[in-house]
Amino acid sequence: MIEIKFHGRGGQGAVVASQILAKAYFFLGAYPQCYALFGSERRGAPVTSFLRVDDKKILLKCEIKRPDQIVYLAADQIDAAEIAATLKPGGLCVINTSASPENFPFLRKFKLVLVDASAVAEEAGLGGILNTAILGAYCKANPAVPLDCLERSISDMVPAKVELNLSAARRAYDAAQVTEPQAQG
């Protein structure tokens, strides 16, 4: 089973990102389970979404405490102590940022994916909704989900501006910087 945790802010598309990725995994023959936690439904408020994926039906119904992968749509939500304590060794961490990998020395033991999804979404004409852009970067680092499968899911799930969302996913895929985990010594 793969467990993925999404951190974002209301209006960025964190919940929809987990749903789009869930459908992509479904198209690949997996069983996804997706849910979200958030307080007041207001723009800018912290939002956490969860996705489990397995090759068999998932009966577990609880919050993900030790994810295999973390996706940050809002870099200001990064908590180094939380990542170190919860992300499984060698796990995947995708971050929306314009910073370089050198700015995240505490993440060297994880597979790190950096992309300026905010800029990609803005350039694609999506404003602050960056869910499809962050998922394009996710696919670059995770060959288990081919970009064409994500594109199929986006086409199926996104109600408007489908071509702009597809363009954002492709641009972020091309722009993402992937750094492999480094052995700790």
Query: What is the tens place of the pLDDT at every residue in 86-109?
Result: 999 899 999 999 999 999 999 999
pLDDT at residue number 41: 61
Q: Is the pLDDT score of 28 beyond 80?
A: yes
Domain annotation covers residue 184: no
Report the interhelical angle of 131-141 vs 117-124 (nearest 10°). Answer: 130
pLDDT at residue number 63: 84
Task: Quote the CA–CA distance of 40 and 10 in Å, as a whole number.
Answer: 9
pLDDT at residue number 185: 54
Task: Quote the CA–CA distance of 183 and 185 in Å, as a whole number.
Answer: 6
Tell me if 128 sits within 8 A of 148, measured CB to CB: no
pLDDT at residue number 125: 94
The CB density around residue 130, as the number of other CB atoms within 10 Å, is: 30
Domain annotation covers residue 185: no
Task: Quote the CA–CA distance of 142 and 32 in Å, as a whole number.
Answer: 16
pLDDT at residue number 31: 97
pLDDT at residue number 39: 62
Tell me if 120 sits within 8 A of 134, measured CB to CB: no
Q: Is the pLDDT score of 54 beyond 70?
A: yes
What is the tally of structural domains in the chain? 1
> pLDDT class for 38, splitting at 50, 70, 90?
low
Between strands 69-72 and 46-54, the pairing is unpaired
Domain annotation covers residue 18: yes
Query: What is the tens place of the pLDDT at every residue in 142-157?
Result: 999 999 999 999 999 9
The whole-angstrom distance between residue 52's C-alpha and the CA centroid of its chain comes to 13
Q: What is the domain range of residue 72?
A: 2-179
pLDDT at residue number 91: 95
**Residue 46: CATH number of its domain:** 3.40.920.10
